[in-house]
Amino acid sequence: MRMTELKGRLPDEVIAEAAKRGVVELTPPQEIAVNEGLLSGRSIVVAAPTASGKTFIAEMAMLRTVLWQFKKAVYIAPMRALASEKYDEFKSSYPFVKVALSIGDLDSLDSWLGEYDIIFVSTEKFDSLMRRGISWLESIGCIIFDEIHLLDEIGRGPTLEILLTRLKRVCSDAQFIALSATIGNAQELRDWLGSGLVESSYRPVPLEKGVELEGIVSYLNGKEERLESEGKTPEARITEDTLRRGKQAILFYATKRNAEAGAERLSKLTARYLKEETKPLLMESGKRILSALGKPTLQCEKLSGLVGNGIAFHHSGLVNEQRREVEDAFKNGEIKVLCSTTTLGIGVNLPAHTVVVRDTTRYRGGEGSVKIGANEVAQLFGRAGRPKYDTEGRAMLIARSKAELKELWKRYIDAELSPIVSKIGVLPVLRMHLLSFIASGFLHREDSMLGFLSETFYGYQYGSSEELKRITTMVLRELQEWKFIEDNEGIFSATRIGRRVSELYINPISAKWMIDSIPKAKDDLGILFMVSNTPEMVPYSKVAEDAWERMPDYNHLIDSEFAYQLSHYEPERPFSTALMLDEWISEANEYLITKKYGETPGSLFTKIQNADWLLHASAEIARLMHMSPAKILEVRVRTKYGIKKELLDLVRLEQVGRVRARVLHSGNIRSVAELREKGSEAMLTKLFGREVAQKIWAQVSA
């Protein structure tokens, strides 16, 4: 079907923009979607491979809603990075549409969003907005759920499922578009949503899937290929064969450490295939990676050096600036090989000619080493094949024996996708959501809550569940005991503190732990332990040697059933996380902190951000307890900047953070008032350069 055939069924602006991008004809999944009623407002489940055109299906639905029905569209993505990427793409392609991105503060209503036509949000952010009450909810005409297969994931799935079920009820006239490359039971999902279905195996770049053993790749199509390499390891053989073709590769590893080690092992190989004109560009990328932090860590130095050889590692331990630098250099073809954890399996669009899933096992707490699922491997394989650059993509696993080859073949290559299964029916998940139902005024009776839960995918898959009823009753009883809700003859209402806990988007058990701990947390470390000993701070840091010595002074905080439930009977782990944050606010060296506590720069800053949020929440709870939040707020500012108390006044200035504040303090400038009295723009220019100095002095002299 040609785009011109959609004239009169799709806004002319969309057809014109498609033509600019060279889109003349619909892909098979797009044509099926149109035939299934996409352009008449019917909801659709789209199960089709990566790069098959799913995003344009969403674009057609959203723009038809905005331009012809004068309603809003919402694009819900499971990860902030994915929401940001889709926002950037859409804003560039359709400048005539008012587009907004909201992925940040979960304690903000962001009322300004009501002025926009299309809103890109993370799942958690939109769930938070729903809790606080959205004035423009009735004006939503189209909702996109990207990566819908994550319903199956215990971490993200329940929030996505509750959100989707709630929107089905309150936005019943809206068009729902659910997108995924890996759904084993797409028809079941279609039936639950009451929608049309696009199920297609079409890929613009054909994918060959196989297993490598001793330099020979056996593909699903029956073809065998001998790799052009004398490399001694499978990764080296596959990488060199890819580089000889002038192509790029992504190798997926189970852990950050493995990804980094893999990149180091392959770096001499990739360096041999670099073109001279690429080397200066890589050197500049390396410099930017090195300067992403105030003082480079060992990981920064390692990554910077590897990039100079045309290879990089990619995982959640990188800070955002480093991740963006690596991704951009790979997209531009400068970096030839990425060694990554599965962070690239979901999220940014970063295809390569060759994809290797080296590790098919992963350590899972409490279970040990477990096999990853066929759906996850399929998701990673989907990164193989770059439209406009490759005539085929290849994705492979690595076997170390013929027996393992047969096992991998059966489990992953010649295998059907697994069905997605609801993960709602567990107690910790329901605590947060049942409180939300009551606090937001959505549901007030236990039978109505059970009725709602029966409308979820869980309810569709399992029908009436006595176990779900038992858990619901238990959660409601707990929330009453904790004084978050009240029961008036079977009608539940939220208390003032229960409503605020729901708005703050924290786990109710974390809130109860804070309520118990706030009166007892008297010093900085006690406050940091209070926020560290929560589910939101998992995974905890490595246990430090001095944790055992110092923890007895804080045993009075952990003498609670909630503390033990939160820390899984290992309070020394969250206590070590608190010790790490205490070193951070004591201005310890970042490299020494990450080394001592087994963190990466990225994971350190993630914990700092999470602690900042939890300190905000605990300050809000302290106010409701009629206790002064001053000490908590002081620790929050120090945690945000990583500073001792003596620098608090100086960091009030924009452009002044941890390093610049210490420089000023060392020069006997101890406050903004002293800077105004003793300083000058010339002095600041000498210390920080003209541009920064002008910005600082403008604030001081105003």
> What pLDDT is recorded for position 154?
85
Confirm whether 418 is domain-assigned. no
Question: CA-CA distance, 128 to 109, in Å (whole number)?
Answer: 8
Please say if the pLDDT value at position 337 is more than 70.
yes
Q: Where residue 457 sits, what CATH number does that domain have?
A: 1.10.10.10
Query: How many independent structural domains does the chain possess?
Result: 5
Residues 493 and 519 in one domain: no
Residues 658 and 560 in one domain: no
**Pair of tokens at residue 354:** 């060759």
**Pair of tokens at residue 122:** 């993370």
| Domain end point (choices 456, 484, 503) | 503
Confirm whether 60 is domain-assigned. yes
Confirm whether 420 is domain-assigned. no
Radius of gyration from C-alpha coordinates of the chain? 27
> What pLDDT is recorded for position 395?
96
Residues 322 and 407 in one domain: yes
Confirm whether 419 is domain-assigned. no
Confirm whether 447 is domain-assigned. yes
**Pair of tokens at residue 562:** 């909630």
Residues 178 and 221 in one domain: no
* pLDDT digit string, tens, across residues 670-686: 999 999 998 888 999 99
| Domain coverage including residue 671 | 648-700
Residues 497 and 515 in one domain: no
Residues 104 and 219 in one domain: no
Q: Where residue 539 sits, what CATH number does that domain have?
A: 1.10.3380.20
| Domain end point (choices 449, 480, 503) | 503
Residues 355 and 276 in one domain: yes
Q: Where residue 89 sits, what CATH number does that domain have?
A: 3.40.50.300
Residues 662 and 686 in one domain: yes
CA angle 406, 408, 409 (to 5 degrees): 60
Confidence category of residue 617, pLDDT binned at 50, 70, 90: very high
Residues 365 and 256 in one domain: yes
Residues 557 and 446 in one domain: no
Q: Provide mean pLDDT across the span 170-195.
A: 95
Cis before 508? omega within 30 = no
> What pLDDT is recorded for position 566?
54
**Hey, which residues does 226 pair with through a beta bridge?**
216
381: part of which helix (H) or strand (E)?
helix 374-381
Please say if the pLDDT value at position 567 is more than 80.
no
- The residue count of the chain comes to 702
Question: CA-CA distance, 118 to 288, in Å (whole number)?
Answer: 34
Confidence category of residue 563, pLDDT binned at 50, 70, 90: low
* pLDDT digit string, tens, across residues 288-329: 999 887 678 888 899 999 999 999 999 988 888 999 999 999
Confirm whether 421 is domain-assigned. no
Residues 379 and 273 in one domain: yes
Q: What is the pTM for the complete model shown?
A: 0.89
* pLDDT digit string, tens, across residues 204-240: 999 999 999 999 999 988 899 999 998 999 999 999 9
Instruction: Give the rounded percent of residues in the chain with a pLDDT score beyond 70.
Output: 97
Burial 59-87 (b: 16+ CB within 10 A, else e): bbbbbbbbbeeebbbbbbbbbbbbbbbbb
Q: Where residue 671 sits, what CATH number does that domain have?
A: 1.10.150.20
Residues 569 and 668 in one domain: no
Confirm whether 391 is domain-assigned. yes
Confirm whether 94 is domain-assigned. yes
| Domain end point (choices 356, 379, 413) | 413
Cis before 29? omega within 30 = no
* pLDDT digit string, tens, across residues 394-424: 999 999 999 999 999 999 999 899 999 999 8
